[in-house]
Amino acid sequence: MRRPLALAVLAITLIGTVTACGGEEDDTGGTDTVSVGVIPIVDVAPIYLGIEQGFFAERDIEVELTEAQGGAAIVPGVAAEEFDFGFSNMTSLLLAQSSGLPVEVVANGVASTGEAGADFGAVMVAADSPVQTPADLADATIAVNTLNNIGDTTIRESVRAAGGDPADIGFTEVAFPDMPAQLAAGNVDAVWVVEPFKSIVEADGGRPVAWNYVDAAPDLTVAAYFATTEMVQEDADLVARFAAAVAESLQYATDNPDAVRDILATYTDISTDILAAMTLPAWPAEVNRDSVERLAELGETDGIFENPPDVDALLP
């Protein structure tokens, strides 16, 4: 049995009280109880659906979800064995791997649609903002959910691709739910948001100026579920069952977009109008390795890694 959940992040459990990590078996039924760190955004709708549909229970897994602000907060929780599995953007995972944290991707999480103008994440500005193109963001103050993650890395690439110099961008950390208000108040020049918060900003009159996921790489793998290398090696059966349940959940989300919108209403406070309007991401079964390698290149260009990350060690 691993340590009880103690990570100092927003902790809202989906099923009962978090009691154990490390796949502890239920004394009566042989069920493995696992804790998973997630972010309250559309990206993780499949795992909520998978729990609801019984995909994890069918594999003798009971899942307890705990919400955090971003992957940068979840990664140390998994490394410290406070979560069994976590959901994180790929840049944060590359940063962790390059820093010597023994983490490995166990299942795909979410991907960009690959379509500018029709993706689930974008850099948004107020309607009357002078910012018109990604190059105009070069000296802007931009809110991201956590620093040194996939948001700021891909935004810099959007600016570079448009002919701007991203060196003077001022990134500031703001939780996704707080971004619409921060933009409306003029506290930041732009916000990087994913759904459902992208649609909330649009409903308030905001507009997109950069499709940073699309600019970074074709069909970008944005995030994945991961565990420690120790868990992958010592609890291989549990990891395989968890990965299989996630894969089935991803396919179910892909096939049932209305169910995605319905389940999102259970873990976010979003109006029905916003739920109907938002753009859903892609949930492919496999990680796009080329796109992860591109993220590693961008991170090295931006100097966020102390050492070059080992993509082979990180990916399954």
Q: Which CATH superfamily is domain 24-113+219-314 in?
A: Periplasmic binding protein-like II (3.40.190.10)
77: tokens are 């929780």
Report the mean per-residue pLDDT for the chain: 90
Domain boundaries, the chain: 24-113+219-314, 121-216
Torsion of CA 189, 194, 197, 203, to 10 degrees: 70
Q: What is the pLDDT of residues 206-216, one digit of tens each?
A: 999 999 999 99
Token pair 């993650």 is at which residue? 149
CA dihedral defined by 149, 155, 160, 163, rounded to 10 degrees?
-170
Which string of DSSP letters, residue by residue, matches 195-263?
Answer: TTHHHHHHHTT-EEEE-HHHHHSTT-EEEEEEEEHHHHHHSHHHHHHHHHHHHHHHHHHHH-HHHHHHH
Does this chain's domain 24-113+219-314 share its CATH topology with 121-216?
yes
Q: Is the pLDDT of residue 51 over 70?
A: yes
Per-residue pLDDT band at 24 (split at 50, 70, 90): low
Per cent of the chain over pLDDT 70 is 91
121-216: which CATH topology?
Answer: D-Maltodextrin-Binding Protein; domain 2 (3.40.190)
Note the pTM of the prediction, 2 decimals.
Answer: 0.88
Q: What is the pLDDT of residue 139?
A: 93
pLDDT of the residue at 73: 81
pLDDT for res 25:
52
The pLDDT of residue 29: 55
222-244 pLDDT tens trace = 999 999 999 999 999 999 999 99
- The share of the chain scoring above pLDDT 90, in percent, equals 85
Region of poorest pLDDT, from 59-73, 85-99, 155-169, 282-296:
59-73
Cα(70)–Cα(150) distance, rounded to whole angstroms?
10
